[in-house]
Amino acid sequence: GQGAEQTGNEEAGEDIVVTDGLGREITLSQPAERILTSYGIATHMVFALGAQDKIVGYDSPSRNNAFFNKLMPELSNIPTPGSPAEFNLEEAMALDPDLILVPGRNMELVENLEEKGLTVFGVVAEDLEQLKDSMLNLGKALGREETAQEFVNYYENTLQKVKERTENIAEEDRPVVYLVGPMGLLSTCSSEMYQHHLIRLAGGENAGGELTGGWVEVSPEHLIEWNPDLIFVVQYTADTSPESIMEDERLQGIKAVMNKQVFWFPSTLNPWDYPSPQAVLGLYWAASKIQPDLFNDLDMQAEADQFFQKFYGKTYTELGGTLD
Amino acid sequence: MGGSDFYFYSLFVDIKFTFIKYETISITVHISKEMMKKTISNLPLQVKGVNFSYGKKNVLRNITFSVPHASICGLLGPNGSGKTTLLGCISGIKKLESGSIFLHGKAVQMMTRKEIAREVSVVPQQTGFIFPFKVLDMVLMGKAPVKEIWETPSLADREEALGVLERLGIRELSGRTFQQISGGEKQMVLIARSLLQNTDIMLLDEPTSHLDMKNQILILDLIKKVSYENRITVLMTLHDPNLALHYCDQIILLKNGQIMSQGNTSEVMQSQKLSNVYGIEVELGITSKGTRVVVPSCWR
Amino acid sequence: MGGSDFYFYSLFVDIKFTFIKYETISITVHISKEMMKKTISNLPLQVKGVNFSYGKKNVLRNITFSVPHASICGLLGPNGSGKTTLLGCISGIKKLESGSIFLHGKAVQMMTRKEIAREVSVVPQQTGFIFPFKVLDMVLMGKAPVKEIWETPSLADREEALGVLERLGIRELSGRTFQQISGGEKQMVLIARSLLQNTDIMLLDEPTSHLDMKNQILILDLIKKVSYENRITVLMTLHDPNLALHYCDQIILLKNGQIMSQGNTSEVMQSQKLSNVYGIEVELGITSKGTRVVVPSCWR
Amino acid sequence: MSIGVGLYSLPMEVIFELVSCKLTNRAVPSELFSPSVVFWSVRLPRAIMALLVGAVLALAGTVFQGVFRNPLVSPDILGVSAGAGFGAGLAIILVGRSALAVQSMAFIFGLAAVVAAYQIGRRSRSDSVTVLVLAGVIVTAIFTAGLSFLKYVADPYEQLPAIVFWTMGGFSDIVWKDVYWTLPVFIAGTAVLFFLRWRLDLLSLGDEEALTLGVDVKKMRVLYISASTLIVASSISTCGTIGWVGLVMPHMARLIVGPNHQFLISFASVLGAIFMLIIDTLARTISSGEIPISIMTSVIGAPFLAYLLLRQEESNF
Amino acid sequence: MSIGVGLYSLPMEVIFELVSCKLTNRAVPSELFSPSVVFWSVRLPRAIMALLVGAVLALAGTVFQGVFRNPLVSPDILGVSAGAGFGAGLAIILVGRSALAVQSMAFIFGLAAVVAAYQIGRRSRSDSVTVLVLAGVIVTAIFTAGLSFLKYVADPYEQLPAIVFWTMGGFSDIVWKDVYWTLPVFIAGTAVLFFLRWRLDLLSLGDEEALTLGVDVKKMRVLYISASTLIVASSISTCGTIGWVGLVMPHMARLIVGPNHQFLISFASVLGAIFMLIIDTLARTISSGEIPISIMTSVIGAPFLAYLLLRQEESNF
Ligand SMILES: Nc1ncnc2c1ncn2[C@@H]1O[C@H](COP(=O)(O)OP(=O)(O)OP(=O)(O)O)[C@@H](O)[C@H]1O
Ligand SMILES: Nc1ncnc2c1ncn2[C@@H]1O[C@H](COP(=O)(O)OP(=O)(O)OP(=O)(O)O)[C@@H](O)[C@H]1O
Ligand SMILES: [Mg+2]
Ligand SMILES: [Mg+2]
């Protein structure tokens, strides 16, 4: 890694200037060829941009990710110098990356890396807008502008379509959705979470909408009182499954259980319920479950296959993904 | 002698049991069996060829003695001669290096803690506590050996404990915490506990230390009375030869972990023997009023 | 009297200082000032009208006495009479309820801990420890009062400490841990520490308890010698009146927190007075060889 | 009573009606179906569990402080929490999400950790309680490291949250099944400790003195540790690690009734049970989400302990 | 030496070259630019910090165990970690991510917690160390609850992760600035404790006996606690909470050189420093992806402690 300043003087005209999630301008003399990500979402973005062959190091939690490994079997031989929590500076430097993708919220790490003369891109993608921005900028930095643009277009189309149909649903017509979060049956998303907005966007009402914080613990009493019409269970939850919910004696009086409206939130490959490049499919899926009448034209399986084919080169089905 | 038969029987059972479970130590048991033939008797306390070491430091060497029934035996000797250690061996706290100790003919090594505690009560030389127990609670602990493991002291036990405190003249301390009484009062409480334990054998490690003259006499008179009336055997260490002279029936003189002399008080308490053991000139005198006293010659 | 001037001066300074800082207690100080006019003297230890209570329990009542320079004063009394408490008051551990205590004319209440510890060393009645310190380290702690806060004992101090142990005949214990020595040996070590502290005033709480006859005599002889040679004032509690008789110049008899009698040993050690204090008949006798002894009458 | 309060309002007459339905074996009227579920299946088992866990943790803490003669000891000093956490993690990774497997593994490893600590302590030349405690520190460290390692290798989306969830204590998910499975263990362990309560006084005197009073120190120590560990392990394996109660309740109880274990044991249990029920009731009532039990224990318990400390008439320490 | 090892390979001759460049004030050859950064800005400050933190934690732990006469005491018993965590959380929420603000707030609240604990302890009628420790338990509980509350109200995407990062200890983020700001505090505190080391022997005898030996027990206790707290707070505020070392190193040291604080203090510091450096070197070398420091301390430290325990010739407890 040569410091950015050194190359800056040579041929200023060809410099690539991108803005990262923190609003910082980053200048590259040429598209980054050796990238290091320390953040799962960023790794996802790199895959969605088809730039995974540029990865020289990635975040350790992604190491066991079956989806990544299927797309790129040699990934397991690439070092993992860090996670959002722990970052091995030395190993990162030893890998000599052109660009390091880190979670934008870890300001200290960003500063620290820059001090060492490394080029850092802070990824902030807590909602779909930020996701689009990040994809565009990252696409530019990685020399994948076209893919990024395609991606953004797809996103905007989808969003547009969903919004049109759900925007004007009256509050009382919105089914109450309870989303089972990572800590098991009794954890759900607060109004500050992406998942809350996703449910709203898909035409539902988040059961935990009046809560604040991140993932919040509630008691079974809440659940019974809220009496949700649908229950979504995220893939990465603990100790809970739609089957166990259907069997839970405490929940037998709940509409969702009585009407058998309890589902895994797809997908079996990667969760679609948080802001990652595949999140848009999650929106589609949720909308089709929450407002089946409005989205009866949607073939979720086909949509997913198409999306995966376009951005990952293989269909969702080919990769082994299912929708329940 | 019914008593002796009973002991023989119980020993026999013990030995059979031992053969089954611990085959490797059967030889030791054999030897004891030989010895028992002779030693099975009503003698309450017999110590035979006991050796003990702390690490490499040899502290007791071939200690052999026995204390007759219902007698008071004084254990005298210089500091560090091994008195406390010997008492520890008898009460089974310290594991012997060799030799054996018999309580009423039963080997201490083969008795459970509870069996030992029903035979022997101990007044320790020193104590240290974490929790601020009440004096009465401390004394009541003397009832532990005769209780089943799940029992707690009854009201009758409380009455009995208060009675013992009364006898020692410290009943008014019963509600105080053990940490908040004076040194001598602590000593009295420990003795009260030992009395409540009500065993056939009492071991007392310097029972009169920290006690004032009156309490010393009170305690020793009481022990003498208890020993006589209840047929209790007492072995106690003392540093004051005058007390030994006036209260003990038997004396054992210990020095450097060896018994220098033992026998009836009048035989052992002779100036030559005492001088030898303590390493200072000691003389036995008699006051004009006829009280026998032991005094160091240097006080003349 | 240069010494007295010096003390007067230092008191004056103290009082002025006191006025400035603690205006509220100036009255107390005034009274002391009055008293001081008379009491400022070379008397090493003066106790004036001391009262002390544990909670509501009154333990010391109007205790007033003084100990002359380089003399040995025995503090005798039954268990729980307040001896240990009185020593605690003198060494400044216990806060007085009223009255005052002067060390060489300086009020204990106004001295820092370090100043007190340079004047007074204490051999406690009981100790309890957490860490297994070596005997030599225990003894060396006696050097703390004369060291600056950041200093550690020097090699010379070690030599001195070993010398003291030598004098007490326990040099070979120096490398052992304090937990692993006998009761009497512990007592010797605490006395050694107090000797190393080398103060003008020594307070000893039952220094002879747990000691054998030889060591009792060794210690008391040594204290007597030290007191004489180094002009050291000693106040010690004792339970054995014979020791008091033979080693003390002065005696104070305490009962129920009150002084019953005080004065020269020969004046105080009279059978009537002792019988009164202890509540048993005591008689003073003399052996055929001419040694004076105190014995309870019941031993006759 | 605590079962009346909660987010789902259950007026007393409704509870009355529900109980009388149960007693007379009448069918619940359909409009009371939800209240019935809330009352019988949610609130009651939860309240019972809170009472039980509070009691056993306080009890075990008291016993441990007595056995170790150290006021800073809490029931998990010998590694039971760390062991249980590791066991649960192992079960989640190897077996999957079966609650039974997770609970049993947690239980077994909780016990295993204590056995390991005891074995290390026993093998040391100086067989003191301090050594035993240090052995506990060792075992705790190893199992904690093991759990961290499990987290490290766990699938970050499926297993990791499950592990994290498990380690956080709480009563929100308690169902009758949990009560049924822990109750026998609780009763057995508590009964043992209750019956042995007086010997704890003796044991806390110190080894030598206890020996001369006929207490088989080693055997009793093993008994106390086993019984306490059993109930703590079973509590942890159903409700996760609930700190603080086991350490602090014994002190509160001691400040009130003194150190005599004869009374202390029972009093500490009752105090612990009441405390835990109050805490849990507040935790599920006060705010719209569940407040973690650990926050509540501290917020309520800390000032109470401070009050007791500052109020105490005579030194209890 | 540890600075030679690491994932970024720095052969000895390179280090040599780099040092000689520095000494002679030569410009670094351009091909050594990266190694130079790794050496001077990454590895060196980190190694130095690990040494320092290991030393001060072990030192503070030894002092606390002596002052409290309890082998289970660790330097954060009076609440310094909890306070620092709360302070850091508050800074993150109120001020933002400025490292200076976070570190200073952590430091200040760490000290404040200890002061609070001391004040509670002092106001109790029985002014014993146990009461002080319980006061510490109270303060710890309150600040921990406070931190949980802060986490609860924190923005889940920005502030919460920042708080969580902060509370996990580690050296991976250490830069020279951290060394500069902690060093004076470390030196001052360590010097005080080193000079007062002998008095710790006296204090550990018990209050009354220490008093008669001329030790102003209360004053000394405040001094020891202040100096230790200062260095621990400053360590925590830069490197987060690093558990275990402060509790266990004193025992290891005591098992090796005995309880005499005159030697123990220095030995424990050195042992702690070496231990921490080894741990940190391993942590950053062994795996790709940092192994959390807490795993390493346990994995290396626990067996070592077990070895010492089992090996000890005579009882040290
Ligand atoms: N910490 C305490 N709290 C309350 N009362 C106490 C405390 N220490 C001692 N006492 C009581 O104060 C009285 C005097 O005690 P002190 O220890 O001074 O007696 P003493 O003369 O030294 O007795 P001994 O000869 O037995 O050592 C006793 O009645 C004792 O019970
Ligand atoms: N725990 C121990 N470890 C090693 N040596 C010990 C231990 N306890 C005592 N000793 C040594 O063993 C010897 C005998 O000690 P013991 O306590 O039996 O003496 P004692 O006759 O009771 O003396 P005292 O009259 O002083 O109480 C002494 O030399 C002592 O130093
Ligand atoms: Mg002895
Ligand atoms: Mg006394």
Contact D214 B141 (CB under 8 A): no
Query: Is the pair B, C in contact (3+ CB pairs within 8 Å)?
Result: yes
Helix axes D245-257, D44-68, angle to 10 degrees: 70
Average of pLDDT values for C275-287? 92
Contact A238 D156 (CB under 8 A): no
Using CA positions, which residue lies closest to atom 13 of ligand 2? Answer: B80
Size of interface A-D (CB pairs under 8 A): 105
Give the tens place of pLDDT for each residue, C209-263: 999 999 999 999 999 999 999 999 999 999 999 999 999 999 999 999 999 999 9
Chain D, nearest residue to B144 by Cα: D213
Handedness of CA A88, A91, A96, A97 (dihedral sign): negative
Using CA positions, which residue lies closest to atom 27 of ligand 1? Answer: B183
* Atom nearest to C212 CA in ligand 2: 25
As a whole number of angstroms, the distance between CA C102 and CA B192 comes to: 40
Any chain D CB within 8 A of the CB of E99?
A: no
- Residue in E168, E309, E312, E315 to test binding to D, most D beta-carbons within 10 Å: E309
Tokens matching residue C91:
């060494």
Nearest CA distance, C284 vs chain E (angstrom): 37
Contacts of E36 (CB under 8 A, 6+ apart): E18, E21, E28
Contacts of C43 (CB under 8 A, 6+ apart): C66, C67, C68, C69, C102, C104, C105
Q: Which residues of E touch C179 (CB under 8 A)?
A: 315
Q: How confident is the model at residue D135 (pLDDT cuts 50, 70, 90)?
A: very high
Any chain D CB within 8 A of the CB of E306?
A: yes
Q: Please tell me which residue, B201 or D27, carries the higher pLDDT value.
A: B201
Chain C from 136 to 175: CB within 8 A of any B CB: none
Q: How confident is the model at residue B112 (pLDDT cuts 50, 70, 90)?
A: very high
Pocket of ligand 2 (CB under 6 A): B 54, 57, 59, 77, 79-85, 125; C 180-185, 210, 212
- H/E stretch holding D298 reads helix D293-311
Contact A103 E161 (CB under 8 A): yes
Q: Nearest 5 degrees, angle CA C101-CA C104-CA C106? A: 55
As a whole number of angstroms, the distance between CA B113 and CA D91 comes to: 43
Contact B213 C246 (CB under 8 A): no
Where chain A has pLDDT below 70, the residues are 1-13, 84-85
Q: Pairing state of beta strands C98-103 and C106-107?
A: antiparallel
Cis peptide leading into residue A267 (ω within 30°): yes
Q: Which of B56, B81, B208 to mutate to test the pocket of ligand 2 (most atoms within 8 A of CB)?
A: B81
Domains identified in chain D and CATH numbers: 50-312 (1.10.3470.10)
Nearest CA distance, A58 vs chain D (angstrom): 15
Lowest mean pLDDT among A216-225, D99-108, E26-35: E26-35
**pTM exceeds 0.95:** no
Q: Does residue E269 contact residue E56 with C-beta atoms inside 8 Å?
A: yes
Chain C, nearest residue to E219 by Cα: C113
Tokens matching residue C26:
């100036």
Any chain E CB within 8 A of the CB of C299?
A: no
Q: Nearest 5 degrees, angle CA A220-CA A262-CA D158? A: 80
In the prediction, which pLDDT does C12 show?
34
Tokens matching residue D146:
């093991």
- Residue E220 is which amino acid? M
Nearest C-alpha neighbor of A61 from the set A103, A89, A90: A103
Q: Does residue D246 contact residue B230 with C-beta atoms inside 8 Å?
A: no
The CB of C85 under 6 Å from ligand 1? The reply is: yes
Q: Which residues of A touch E41 (CB under 8 A)?
A: 115-116
Residue D30 pLDDT > 70: yes
As a whole number of angstroms, the distance between CA D130 and CA D133 comes to: 5
In the prediction, which pLDDT does A81 show?
81
Strand order in the sheet with A205-206: A205-206, A176-180, A230-233, A262-264
Q: Which of C53, C57, C76, C240 to mutate to test the pocket of ligand 1 (most atoms within 8 A of CB)?
A: C57
Residue D11 pLDDT > 50: yes
Mean pLDDT of chain E: 86
Mean pLDDT of chain C: 85
Question: Which of E138, E291, E306 minimises the CB distance to D302?
Answer: E138
Q: Which of C58, C83, C94 to mutate to test the pocket of ligand 1 (most atoms within 8 A of CB)?
A: C83
Any chain E CB within 8 A of the CB of C184?
A: no
Contacts of C236 (CB under 8 A, 6+ apart): C72, C73, C74, C75, C202, C203, C204, C205, C206, C207, C223, C248
Nearest C-alpha neighbor of E178 from the set E246, E228, E234: E234
Q: Give the closest ligand to the alpha carbon of residue C80.
A: 1
Handedness of CA C76, C79, C80, C81 (dihedral sign): negative
Average of pLDDT values for B231-242? 94
What percent of chain E stands above pLDDT 90? Answer: 43
Burial of E11 (0-12, 13-18, 19+ CB in 10 A): exposed
Residue given tokens 């070895």 in the structure block: E307
Residue E65 pLDDT > 80: yes
Give the tens place of pLDDT for each residue, B88-103: 999 999 999 999 999 9
The CB of C57 under 6 Å from ligand 1? The reply is: yes
What percent of chain E stands above pLDDT 70? Answer: 93
Give the tens place of pLDDT for each residue, E169-195: 778 778 888 899 899 999 999 999 999
Any chain A CB within 8 A of the CB of E70?
A: no
Residue E288 pLDDT > 70: no
As a whole number of angstroms, the distance between CA B104 and CA B115 comes to: 12
Residue B34 pLDDT > 50: no
What percent of chain A stands above pLDDT 70? Answer: 95
In the prediction, which pLDDT does C27 show?
37
Question: Which of B134, B144, B145 minimises the CB distance to D260?
Answer: B134
Nearest CA distance, E218 vs chain D (angstrom): 18
Handedness of CA E130, E134, E136, E140 (dihedral sign): positive
Question: Which of E70, E197, E214 minimises the CB distance to C116?
Answer: E214
In the prediction, which pLDDT does B8 show?
33
Nearest CA distance, D27 vs chain E (angstrom): 42
Lowest mean pLDDT among B135-144, C97-106, D93-102, D184-193: D93-102
Q: How confident is the model at residue E3 (pLDDT cuts 50, 70, 90)?
A: low
Average of pLDDT values for B181-185? 93
* Atom nearest to C82 CA in ligand 1: 18
